[in-house]
Amino acid sequence: MQEILFKSDDILVMSLINYFITEENYNPMIIHGLNDEIWLENLDCDYKIIRIVSHHIHNKEQLDFDKFKLGKIVKQVKKKTFSFKVKVLSIYTDIENENFLTDDDVFISKEEDISNSKLTNVFPNIVNKTKHDENGIEYFIKMSNNINAKNEAKGKEAEKIFSYKKPIITYGIMALCIVLFMAMYLFGKGSSDIYTLLSFGANLDLLVKDGQIYRLFTCIFLHIGIWHLICNMYSLYMIGKEIESLYGKIKYLIIFFGSGICGSLLSITFTHNTVSAGASGAIFGLLGSLLYFGYYYRAYLGNSIKKSIIPVIAVNLFIGFMSTGIDNAAHIGGLVGGIVLSMMVGVPGKSGKRDNINGMILTCLYILFICYMAFR
C-alpha cells in the first residue's frame, strides 16, 4: 500500500485556512496571476484581508517586490469595496530572514509559531482553535470537511437572502396607488385638481402644521397626472420587489413608509403653499436602502453599486434640481431616511445588535431634526 505524505507546511497552511474560514468568517478571494498565496477577506474585521504566502522569500528585494504587488492589488480592492483603508495581515511560512518583516507581517514556519503575539492579540482564540490530535490525512480530511460545511452553510444563507420571493407588499402598494388615482377621477375632478388632491390627502405645509399630520402619510399614495403615476409605479416595481425580497416584508414596510414620511417632512420644510404628492420620496428611500445593503455586500456587489445604484440616484437628483415641479426635498429626505432606517432594521446576515442600536439612534435624531425644521 502506498502512503500519502503531507509536508508540515501543507498542514500548517490548511490549519490556518480552516481557522479563518470556520471561526472568523473569512471568505476566499480569487486573485489571478498569484502562485502559492491564499487570500481571505472579511470586511467587518480589523484586518480585512488575511494573506498566507507559502513561497520562499529569499531576500529583502524579493519581499519589497512582494509588497509592491500587494499594494497594487489592495488599491483594486479599495475601489471595489468602497473602503478608505484596507488593513492586510501577511502570514509568511517560508522566509530567509524574518527581520525583513514589518508590523503587519507574521512569520510562521510551524504550528507552534501560531502563538505569535501579533496573531493572538488580534485573534485571541487562534491557538486553541488550531490545536488538534489528528495527524496527516485524518486531520486534512477533518479540516476539508469543516471548510466545506462552513461554505455550504454560507451558501444556504446567501440563497435564502438572494432567492426570489413574491413581492406581495409591492403589488399591494401599487394597486392602492392605482385605485386612488382612478378614484380621484370617479369622485373628484381628477389627479391634477388641487382641491381633489387635498380632499384625498395630498401634502400641504399649512394644513399639516394646522394639525392634519396624516397628510405626511396619505400623500405617498397619490399622484399628479398619469405620467407621474406610471414613472413611480415602474420604479416601485423594479426597486420595491428587490428590497422586499432582500429585507423581508416587515422590514420593507418600515423602510418604505418611514422613508415616505421623512420625504414628506423635508418637503414641507422647503416648499410652502405648494401641494405635493407621490411615492417618489419612499422610492428614493428604497434606493438608499439598496445602497446600504450593497455596502454590506460590497465584496460581491461593488461593481453594481458603482455602475447601477449610485448613477441612478445621482441622475434622478440631478433631474430634480434642473427641473421645475419636482419635489427634490422629498427625494433627499426619503433617501437619507432609507439609509438610517435600513441601519435600524438591519441587513440580513450582516448587521448585529450594535448596528441596529446605532441605526435606531440615528433614525430618531434624523426624524427629530426634520420635524424641528418642518414645524419651527
By annotation, the residues acting in catalysis are 280, 331
Residue 318 in grid coordinates: 440631478
Residue type, 105: D
Burial 320-336 (b: 16+ CB within 10 A, else e): beeeeebbbbbbbbbbb
How far is C-alpha 198 from the geometric centre of its chain's CA atoms? 38
Residue 114 in grid coordinates: 501560531
Pairing of strands 49-53, 88-92: parallel
Pairing of strands 27-29, 37-41: antiparallel
The one-character DSSP state at 73 is: H
Note whether 200 and 223 are within 8 A (CB). Answer: no
Residue type, 43: L
Question: How far is Cα 352 from Cα 81, in angstroms, rounded to an integer?
Answer: 20
Which residues have CB under 8 Å from 194's CB, separation 6+? 275
Cα-flanking dihedrals φ and ψ of residue 338, to 5°? -60, -35
Q: Which H or E run includes 376?
A: none
Long-range contacts of 73-77 (CB under 8 A, 24+ apart): 73/31, 74/49, 77/41, 77/48, 77/49
The sign of the CA dihedral 216, 217, 219, 220 is: positive
Question: How far is Cα 106 from Cα 113, in angstroms, rounded to an integer?
Answer: 9
DSSP 156-222: HHHHHHHS----HHHHHHHHHHHHHHHHHHHSSS-TT-HHHHHHHT-B-HHHHHTT-TTHHHHGGG-
